[in-house]
Amino acid sequence: MAARSEREVLLVGSMPVRPVESVFETVSTHLGPLAHRIPDGEMMGWLRQVWRSHALNPLLEEDGETKLNGNAALALPLYRLKPGVAAKDLALGPYGYAENARRSHAAFARLRRDGKIPPQTRLQVCMAGPGTTAYVIKLPADELLPLARVALLREIEAMVATLPPSDLAIQLDVAMEAEHEEYLRRPDAFDTPVHDAFHWTHEQMAQSVAWLADRIPAEIELGFHICSIWHHCPEGGQDNEVMVDTANLLSERIGRPIAYIHIPIIPEHDSVEDYAPLGRLRLHRETKLFLGLLNLADGLDGARRRIALAESIVPDFGVSFFCGLGMPPGGYGEGEPGGLRRVPGSGDPSAPALRPTLKRATVDTIGDVLDLHRRAAAL
């Protein structure tokens, strides 16, 4: 029997590495051609600049705050329209995704010309989805989501105006989009005050994402990272039915090609029954499935177990981490306009988050995490 070729590797987004040249060179050194796309490690932060833009928007004002989970020591400001302002008058952004992509691409293209990045590799531009960029703004979904998707489209149009589309892979991170559906199906399972601050239906979310996706030029690869509540409220577990329903709903609504869809797999999922929902996936024929099976906490042994379980349901998939590899410097903009702020009387904000079974990379362990990706790809 012929040996199976190595699995493709996906890097979800963030990395605790700076500057951007070090991200590209580190990934290429450890993974070579296994990673068809390389993110820039979130040089601008995932939502950091987005939240800053809301804080500085002249038509918005603060209206309270919320926490991702009830035990959090940090909270996020919420916004409403200023008196006399109508939703039709509000424009969101610019967020900075286009400018960040321009700077990162300059380094990416230079290193690729120098042979330090494989020639067919694309720059992976990670952008939070419409709902995730705007859930802190108190507006009904039918008013908020159209504003949010237009803001992201403007960022993409600005990228295309200055960068070659064939060099780009845009990854839309549908985080709060999918997490809110998890919450709606099992509200008693989660201590997540943030989900009382906004609302949309699964269908509204999918329509908004599909509207945006179908306006991305065909030369640009499109991928999705679907996130779950587990990584900031692990006590509630993860509903793989929601992960699959989200992937299927997006696949049904989006007319253009989808290069890949990433679904996280939590370490607690250790039986075939946990993976059974993956059998209902109805992805586009061209779509590559990536499963977030990797975790530095249990290394290659854990990856081997989860790969074997997943293979019993879906034989063909690439491998990746659950989410981003590690927090980039600056985090979520603590102390900056729009960033997280300390809740009076709360615990130590520097204390470890409540996710003991997820071990992310640090500056010292990033090589180990990338090597885990390479070794798991050979399983």
- Contact yes or no for 181/245 (Cβ under 8 A): yes
**Span 290-308, average pLDDT:** 95
This prediction's pTM: 0.94
The yes or no reply on domain 9-377 and CATH 3.20.20.210 is yes
Hey, CA dihedral for 10, 136, 73, 17, is it positive or negative?
Answer: positive
pLDDT at 153 exceeding the cut of 90: yes
pLDDT above 60: residue 355: no
CA separation for the pair 259, 289 (Å, rounded) = 9
pLDDT single digits (tens) 8-54? 999 999 999 999 999 999 999 999 999 999 999 999 888 999 999 99
* The predicted structure's pLDDT at residue 2: 41
C-beta of residue 225 within 8 angstroms of C-beta of residue 12? yes
Is the pLDDT reported for residue 347 higher than 50? yes
Backbone angles phi, psi at 89, to 5 degrees: -90, -10
What is the arithmetic mean of pLDDT over 113-118?
95
pLDDT at 189 over 60: yes
Residue range 136-156: mean pLDDT, rounded: 98
Q: Where are the domains of the chain?
A: 9-377
Percent of the chain beyond pLDDT 70?
94
Average confidence (pLDDT) over 331-354: 67
Q: Cα–Cα distance between 92 and 262 in angstroms, integer?
A: 27
Q: What percent of the chain has pLDDT over 90?
A: 83
Query: Would you say residue 250 has pLDDT above 90?
Result: yes
Mean pLDDT (whole number) for 327-333? 70
Q: Cα–Cα distance between 209 and 258 in angstroms, integer?
A: 12
| Mean pLDDT score, 284-303 | 95
